[in-house]
Structure 1
């Protein structure tokens, strides 16, 4: 059995997604005024997206605890991650991030969230192949 088809793979990715979402949310909420200056992004956007990440992280953690993991829930997370990536890319290309640090922040978020979406999707596909085998 390969790693992706392991029954532990998808829950582990979901826990990683929940932890990274929570950490990013705490950072954006707790340090929004400072981050706004450094990143050149609106303070309100940083705070609001930080609070949204709390709900997202709670949902990801709830899914990670499920046995079996909810396929529909993971699809919803993957879609939410893709929307997040699109939002980061839009902010990057519209010049909303006025500093090079802000541009780097958006790029790192887009790549990391995109990677999590890909891993979650791969985990779903691996779980499906295992169930059918």
Structure 2
């Protein structure tokens, strides 16, 4: 499996994604009822997303301290972040959730933030020599 050497840029992107994902995951997991009351997003959706984000943050933190990262893993992070962004936009558009203004704002911010992380990983991949 082709490995990419860790760079300061990639390490920072992974660590920032880990912190953001971990903070959101802890908030969703610790206070789904309160966040649901504020946003009108389903309690179960928030709790499930929180559990996922905590595990995801742990993976990102582990990757951030490695000397090298599998190229395929970075592409998986790109795809996953882009899918998360699309899902954040699609949930209310498809009528799967009916958030209030705060809920729409939360979903919009999440969509933008995870799309930015996807772009940071793409930048890191483009900066790597192809042979790596």
Confirm or deny a common fold (TM above 0.5). yes
Deviation at 1:113, TM superposition (A): 0.5
- 1:43 aligned to 2:53? no
Q: How does 1:50-129 map to 2 (within 5 A)?
A: 50-95=50-95, 96-128=97-129
Structure 1 residue 62: Cα displacement: 1.4
Give the C-alpha shift of residue 121 in structure 1: 1.0
TM superposition outliers: structure 1 runs of 4+ over 2 Å: none
Structure 2: runs of 5+ lacking an equivalent: 1-5
Other-structure match for 2:3: none
| Bigger strand fraction | 2
Q: Is the CA contact (8 Å cut-off) linking 2:92 and 2:99 kept in structure 1? A: no
Alignment-derived partner of residue 3 in structure 1 = none
Answer yes or no: is the 8 Å Cα contact 1:12–1:64 preserved in 2.
Answer: yes
In the alignment, the residues of structure 2 paired with residue 110 and residue 49 of structure 1 have an alpha-carbon distance, to the nearest angstrom, of: 14
How many residue pairs get matched?
126
How big is the shift at 1:80?
A: 1.1
Task: List gaps (5 residues or longer) in structure 1.
Answer: 1-5
Separation in 1, partners of 2:17, 2:129:
20
